[in-house]
Structure 1
Amino acid sequence: MTEPGVATTAQPKSRIGGPEAWLIWVLATTFVVWLFAIQTGYAVVSPEIQDSADLTLAQIGLAASVYTWVFAFVQFFSGSLLDRFGSRPLLGIAVILVAVGAFLYAGTTDFTTLAIAQAVLALGAAFGFVGAGYIGGKWFPAARYGLMFGLVQAAASLGSAVGQPVILLVLQSLSWQQLLVAFGTFGVILAVLFFLIVRDPVHPAPSAPRDRPNVFAEILRDLGRCFANLNVVLSALFAGAAFGTMLALGTLWGPRIMEARGASTEFATILTALAWLGLAAGAPLVNIRSDRVGSRRRPAITWLALQTLAIAAVIYLPVESNGVAAVLMFAVGLFSGVQMLGFTVAGESIDGALIGSASAIVNGFCFLIGGMLTSIPSSFMPSDPTLQDYQRTLWLLPAVLVAGAIAAGFLRGTNRSASAPAT
Structure 2
Amino acid sequence: MTMSRSWSPATAAWIAFAIAALFFLFEFVVRIEPSLATDAIERFYGLSDAGFGTVASLFFWIYAPMQIVVGLLLDRYGARRFVLLGSALCASGVLMFALTAQPWIGGAGRVLMGFGASFAFVSALWLVNHWFAPERFALLSGSVNAIGMLGTAIGGVALSGLIDHVGWRAVFIATACGGFVICLLAALFLREPASPASGPKASGAAAHVRDSLRAVFGDARTWGIAVVGLLYYMPVNVYGGLWGVTELVRDRGLTPVRAETVVSTIFWGIACGSVAGGWLSDRLGHRKYLVFAGAVLTGAAYAGALYLPALTEWQLGALLFAGGFFGGLQMLTFVMAKEGQDNRRVGTVVAFVNMIGIGGALIFQPLVGDLESLAGGDLRVALLTVPACVVLAAVIVLFVPEYRHPAHQPGAPRPARHG
TM-score by length of 1: 0.83
Q: Does 1:398 align with 2:387?
A: yes
Structure 2 equivalent of residue 229 of structure 1:
219
2:400 partner SS? coil
Q: Residues 37 and 160 of structure 1 are in contact (CA less than 8 Å); yes or no, is this contact kept in structure 2?
A: yes
Query: In proportion to residue count, which structure has more helix?
Result: 2
CA positional deviation for 1:121:
1.7
1-side partners of 2:371 and 2:48: how far apart? 12
* 1:68 aligned residue (30, 35, 60): 60
2-side partners of 1:225 and 1:22: how far apart? 31
Q: Does 1:151 align with 2:140?
A: no
* 2:93 aligned residue (101, 105, 111): 101
Q: CA RMSD in A?
A: 3.3
Letter in 2 for 1:36: F
Structure 1 equivalent of residue 351 of structure 2:
360
Deviation string 1:132-166 (CA, Å, 9 cap, x unpaired) is 11222233334323322121112211222211221
Q: Residues 372 and 378 of structure 2 are in contact (CA less than 8 Å); yes or no, is this contact kept in structure 1?
A: yes
Q: Residues 61 and 375 of structure 1 are in contact (CA less than 8 Å); yes or no, is this contact kept in structure 2?
A: no
Structure 2 equivalent of residue 306 of structure 1:
297
CA positional deviation for 1:291:
5.4
Mark the runs of 5 or more structure 1 residues left unpaired by the alignment: 1-8
Q: Does 1:26 align with 2:15?
A: no
Structure 2 equivalent of residue 122 of structure 1:
114
Structure 1 equivalent of residue 9 of structure 2:
16
Structure 1 equivalent of residue 128 of structure 2:
136
Equivalenced residues, count? 405
1-side partners of 2:172 and 2:249: how far apart? 24
Structure 2 equivalent of residue 407 of structure 1:
396
CA positional deviation for 1:74:
0.7
2:10 partner SS? coil
Matches of residues 159-170 of structure 1 in structure 2 within 5 Å? 159-170=151-162
- Using the TM superposition, name which of 260-269 and 318-327 deviates more: 260-269
Structure 1 equivalent of residue 270 of structure 2:
279
Letter in 1 for 2:261: I
Deviation string 1:242-275 (CA, Å, 9 cap, x unpaired) is 2343134333333333344443343333223321
Letter in 2 for 1:412: P
CA positional deviation for 1:78:
1.0
Q: Residues 165 and 270 of structure 1 are in contact (CA less than 8 Å); yes or no, is this contact kept in structure 2?
A: no
Q: Does 1:171 align with 2:160?
A: no
CA positional deviation for 1:111:
7.0
Structure 1 equivalent of residue 338 of structure 2:
347
2-side partners of 1:395 and 1:109: how far apart? 42
2-side partners of 1:328 and 1:132: how far apart? 30
Q: Residues 136 and 282 of structure 2 are in contact (CA less than 8 Å); yes or no, is this contact kept in structure 1?
A: no
CA positional deviation for 1:281:
1.0
2-side partners of 1:378 and 1:59: how far apart? 18
Structure 2 equivalent of residue 35 of structure 1:
27
Q: Residues 141 and 278 of structure 2 are in contact (CA less than 8 Å); yes or no, is this contact kept in structure 1?
A: no
1-side partners of 2:102 and 2:312: how far apart? 38
CA positional deviation for 1:93:
0.7
* 1:218 aligned residue (192, 197, 208): 208
CA positional deviation for 1:233:
1.3
Structure 1 equivalent of residue 75 of structure 2:
83
2-side partners of 1:172 and 1:81: how far apart? 40
1:347–1:209 distance in 2 versus 1, CA, 3 Å: closer
CA positional deviation for 1:65:
4.5
Mark the runs of 5 or more structure 2 residues left unpaired by the alignment: none
CA positional deviation for 1:408:
1.2
1:24–1:92 distance in 2 versus 1, CA, 3 Å: same
Matches of residues 330-345 of structure 1 in structure 2 within 5 Å? 330-345=321-336
TM-score by length of 2: 0.84
- % identical equivalent positions: 25
Q: Does 1:264 align with 2:255?
A: yes
Letter in 2 for 1:302: A
2-side partners of 1:117 and 1:379: how far apart? 30
Deviation string 1:192-221 (CA, Å, 9 cap, x unpaired) is 222232230469xx7445563xx2552243
Structure 1 equivalent of residue 361 of structure 2:
370
Q: Residues 44 and 167 of structure 1 are in contact (CA less than 8 Å); yes or no, is this contact kept in structure 2?
A: yes
1:116–1:324 distance in 2 versus 1, CA, 3 Å: farther
2-side partners of 1:63 and 1:380: how far apart? 25
CA positional deviation for 1:235:
1.4
